[in-house]
């Protein structure tokens, strides 16, 4: 097996700012240089369509994000850097995954739920203004990851649920079609990344309109830094670093020693104008060489296009053969191809199964389905997924005894008796032993 593979996507919506740089680009690029691993970075432009339906903006943002990553030092020779929409295997896999994904799983996705909650709070139709694109977003994201069989996916906290869903889809697919087509990916959450405050002191974010664009011109950068909110203390008056956006941004770029110097200068009563000048110099020092490369790339989109095309060729060396295998596995194949090797094994299909899930009441349930899908056993709600899991393993280990002990947690099902349940449990335990 090859080395660990990292993969992450960047949605091209908007212009990258200093917060994106300190929190994401800079650490990711540093990691891509040191890690003895394979790195995949891509522009998630299909994802951009969920939020942005202005074609010129999608294109512009794709140019700006691609240029930013390259200018900030991403080396396309060392990593695989590509644009999602250049990989036709991604939307194709997205459909294959769609067909093994429960709609209920997607109902629980944060982004969709947040949109529904917002509508409900304002008393309108729950799905008002919600596109199927937003609803399907976790499936597209799973396809992004699974098509390259990535092991690790560096993401922010808000994305962890999506990686778990990708695991679910991968294991459903593997199970259903009887082979380990997909590696189950894991989220990697960087705990101590810098979050920079914006001009007004709140977190730097496009939605607060308080950002400093990463590649603002020198003059623009100076102007924006001068507009950072400070208090009214006069030159000579000691100033506090706590809650000072200026200080925190400086810290995001300076060494520890430099940061200590500024802390001292605050205590000594540095004038705000001088502190702003220090911050400007520090940031400009780091960005000036990159800015030159950025401006060059923006002026030469044909160079960006060529780099991305080359990246797509590299990426498709992996995605094309995998998708060919997947198509055949699901039965989309030449009519003269023998249906042997990738046919699902009969034993995998004809088994009863336990399903664990969460209901709208927030509690955790399981049920046992017969091989033909008939409901045999239904639990009541548990407070934690672990408790539901323990009950399942008890049933699997102890059979009749567990069925008796767990009675208070189980619901009677019309038309099934404990004989049928025990037979199903028996079948399951035999299949685990083989």
**Site residues for ligand TRP per CB under 6 A:** 7-9, 11, 44, 47, 141, 144-145, 153, 155, 159
CB-based contact 356:385 (threshold 8 Å): yes
Single out the residue of 138, 142, 129, 140 nearest to residue 107, CA to CA: 138
Residue 69 backbone phi and psi in degrees, to 5? -65, -40
CB-based contact 205:211 (threshold 8 Å): yes
Nearer to ligand TRP, 205 or 259 (CB): 205
Single out the residue of 153, 139, 140, 138 nearest to residue 184, CA to CA: 153
Which residue sits closest to ligand TRP, CB atoms considered? 9
Nearer to ligand TRP, 155 or 376 (CB): 155
Nearer to ligand TRP, 47 or 291 (CB): 47
Single out the residue of 176, 209, 20 nearest to residue 97, CA to CA: 176
Q: CB 105 → ligand TRP: shortest distance, Å?
A: 17
**Residues paired with residue 43 on neighbouring β-strands, in sequence order:** 10, 83
Q: CB 12 → ligand TRP: shortest distance, Å?
A: 10
Q: How far apart are CA 24 and CA 11, in angstroms?
A: 12
Single out the residue of 36, 6, 368 nearest to residue 186, CA to CA: 6
Q: How far apart are CA 371 and CA 427, in angstroms?
A: 10
- CA neighbours within 13 Å on the CB side: how many for 8? 22
Q: CB 145 → ligand TRP: shortest distance, Å?
A: 5
Q: CB 330 → ligand TRP: shortest distance, Å?
A: 23
Nearer to ligand TRP, 8 or 379 (CB): 8
H helices present in 203-299, as ranges: 218-226, 245-251, 256-267, 272-299
Q: CB 185 → ligand TRP: shortest distance, Å?
A: 8
* Residue 42 Cα distances to 77, 310, 405, angstroms: 14, 13, 52
Q: CB 388 → ligand TRP: shortest distance, Å?
A: 29
Dihedral angle computed from the Cα positions of residues 402, 405, 410 and 412, in that order, rounded to the nearest 10 degrees: 90
Nearer to ligand TRP, 48 or 225 (CB): 48
Nearer to ligand TRP, 115 or 155 (CB): 155
DSSP notation for 60-125 = HHHHHHHHHHHHTT--TTTSEEEEGGG-THHHHHHHHHHTTS-HHHHHT-HHHHHHHHHHHHTTS-
Nearer to ligand TRP, 88 or 331 (CB): 88
Nearer to ligand TRP, 322 or 427 (CB): 322
Q: CB 175 → ligand TRP: shortest distance, Å?
A: 23
Q: CB 150 → ligand TRP: shortest distance, Å?
A: 8
Q: State whether the Cα torsion 242-245-249-254 is positive or negative.
A: negative
Dihedral angle computed from the Cα positions of residues 168, 170, 173 and 174, in that order, rounded to the nearest 10 degrees: -110
Q: CB 55 → ligand TRP: shortest distance, Å?
A: 20
Nearer to ligand TRP, 90 or 287 (CB): 90
């Amino acid at each position: 097996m090859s080395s660990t593979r990292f993969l992450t996507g960047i949605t091209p919506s908007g212009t990258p700012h200093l917060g994106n740089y300190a929190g994401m680009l800079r650490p990711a690029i540093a990691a891509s240089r040191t890690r003895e691993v394979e790195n995949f970075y891509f522009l998630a432009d299909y994802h951009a369509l969920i939020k942005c339906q202005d074609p010129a903006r999608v294109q512009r943002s794709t140019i700006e994000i691609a240029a930013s990553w390259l200018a900030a030092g991403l080396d396309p020779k060392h990593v695989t850097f590509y644009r999602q929409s250049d990989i036709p295997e991604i939307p194709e896999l997205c459909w294959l995954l769609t067909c093994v994904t429960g709609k209920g799983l997607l109902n629980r996705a944060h982004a969709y739920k947040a949109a529904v909650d917002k509508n409900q709070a304002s008393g309108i139709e729950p799905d008002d203004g919600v596109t199927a694109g937003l609803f399907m977003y976790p499936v597209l994201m799973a396809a992004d990851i699974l098509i390259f069989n990535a092991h690790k996916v560096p993401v922010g906290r808000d994305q962890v649920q999506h990686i778990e869903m990708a695991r679910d889809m991968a294991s459903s697919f593997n199970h259903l079609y009887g082979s380990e087509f997909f590696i189950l990916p894991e989220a990697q959450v960087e705990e101590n990344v810098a979050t920079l405050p914006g001009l007004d002191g709140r977190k730097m974010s496009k939605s607060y309109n308080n950002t400093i664009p990463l590649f603002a011109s020198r003059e623009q950068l100076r102007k924006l830094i001068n507009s950072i909110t400070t208090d009214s203390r006069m030159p000579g008056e000691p100033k506090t670093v706590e809650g000072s956006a200026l200080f925190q941004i400086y810290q995001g770029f300076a060494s520890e020693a430099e940061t200590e110097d500024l802390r001292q200068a605050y205590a000594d009563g540095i004038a705000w104008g001088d502190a702003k000048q220090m911050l400007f110099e520090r940031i400009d020092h780091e960005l000036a060489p990159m800015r030159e490369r950025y401006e060059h790339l923006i002026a030469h989109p044909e160079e960006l296009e060529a780099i991305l095309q080359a990246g797509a060729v590299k990426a498709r060396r992996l995605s094309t053969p995998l998708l060919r295998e997947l198509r055949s596995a699901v039965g989309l194949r030449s009519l003269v191809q023998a249906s042997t090797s990738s046919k699902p094994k009969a034993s995998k299909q004809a088994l009863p199964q336990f399903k664990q899930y969460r209901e709208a009441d927030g509690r955790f349930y399981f049920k046992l389905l017969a091989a033909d899908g008939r409901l045999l056993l239904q639990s009541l709600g548990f407070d934690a997924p672990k408790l539901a899991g323990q009950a399942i393993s008890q049933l699997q280990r102890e059979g009749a005894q567990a069925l008796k002990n767990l009675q208070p947690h189980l619901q009677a099902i019309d038309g099934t008796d404990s004989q049928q349940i025990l037979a199903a449990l028996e079948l399951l335990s035999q299949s685990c032993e083989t």
